[in-house]
């Protein structure tokens, strides 16, 4: 029953949601790159959807608002973990158990301040590890008038179900040089900067560069070799409505 609780909580909120807000006003594609934390893992490169932050609330991923004003949003959404469930295709870790891709239901809020935007959200996976995570982010207003250039800093809490799923080592996976390991709740600090530059017509260039630092609950794992990960994305977005 517990694994279906997020869906039950989500249902009445979806019914109250503004249907028009379910449809994105900008659509686009880009390339996303992120370093792998795993021993022998390769950086992950993938195609990602891109869009401009027209409302200025810095809400990432698919989401829709069920309560909104000029300065506040309460929203629901879905998204994937930042973690690579294939462990960077590491040759050294291929004898470990295969992981499934996590799908998170998210509930969050965003508030506009004079100097920027504050976001807070919690997520619950319903497909793989059933773990939870929480994030709080502060995004500055643009540093430039010609181009939207917005730095941000974000604190993350990751439940032990999530961290142990990705960086834990079960007893039957342990071997010489890779002892068994059970991860506890973890913390991370992320900082980055987002770019949006209007091009001709309804097209816009969208980009982002970020760095995430994880704490000892993750970096002490014998299958982790990087505690700080760099990532970024670049793409084009089209305003279709």
Is the pLDDT at 19 greater than 80? The verdict is: no
* Domain CATH number, residue 104: 2.40.160
Instruction: Give me the number of domains the chain comprises.
Output: 1
Residue 71 lies in a domain: yes
pLDDT digits (tens, 9 = 90+) for 120-162: 999 999 999 999 999 999 999 999 888 999 999 999 999 999 9
Residue 21 lies in a domain: no
pTM: 0.87
Residue 41 lies in a domain: yes
Domain residue limits at 57? 2-16+28-239
User: Using an 8 Å Cβ cutoff, are 75 and 60 in contact?
Assistant: no
Distance from C-alpha of 161 to C-alpha of 184, rounded to nearest angstrom = 8
Strand partners, 178: 175
Distance from C-alpha of 111 to C-alpha of 188, rounded to nearest angstrom = 22
pLDDT range class, residue 21, cuts 50, 70, 90: low
Distance from C-alpha of 232 to C-alpha of 237, rounded to nearest angstrom = 16
Residue 202 lies in a domain: yes
Residue 23 lies in a domain: no
Residue 22 lies in a domain: no
User: Using an 8 Å Cβ cutoff, are 105 and 78 in contact?
Assistant: yes
Residue 12 lies in a domain: yes
Residue 161 lies in a domain: yes
């Amino acid at each position: 029953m517990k694994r279906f609780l997020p869906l039950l909580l989500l249902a009445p909120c979806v019914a109250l949601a503004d249907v028009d807000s379910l449809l994105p006003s900008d659509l686009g594609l880009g390339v996303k790159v992120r370093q792998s934390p795993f021993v022998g893992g390769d950086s992950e490169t993938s195609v990602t959807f891109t869009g401009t932050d027209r409302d200025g609330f810095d809400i990432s991923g698919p989401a829709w608002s069920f309560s909104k004003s000029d300065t506040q949003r309460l929203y629901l959404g879905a998204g994937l973990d930042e973690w690579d469930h294939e462990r960077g295709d590491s040759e050294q870790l291929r004898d470990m158990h295969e992981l499934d891709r996590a799908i998170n239901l998210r509930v969050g809020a965003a508030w506009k301040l004079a100097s920027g935007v504050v976001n807070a959200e919690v997520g619950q996976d319903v497909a793989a590890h059933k773990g939870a995570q929480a994030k709080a982010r502060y995004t500055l207003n643009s540093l430039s008038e010609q181009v939207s250039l917005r730095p941000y800093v974000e604190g993350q809490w990751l439940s032990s179900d999530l961290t142990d799923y990705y960086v834990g080592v079960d007893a039957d996976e342990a071997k010489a040089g890779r002892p068994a390991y059970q991860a506890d709740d973890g913390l991370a600090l992320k900082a980055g900067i987002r770019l949006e530059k209007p091009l001709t017509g309804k097209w816009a260039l969208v980009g982002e560069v970020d760095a995430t630092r994880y704490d000892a609950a993750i970096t002490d794992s014998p299958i982790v070799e990087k505690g700080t990960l760099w990532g970024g994305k670049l793409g084009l977005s089209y305003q279709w409505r």
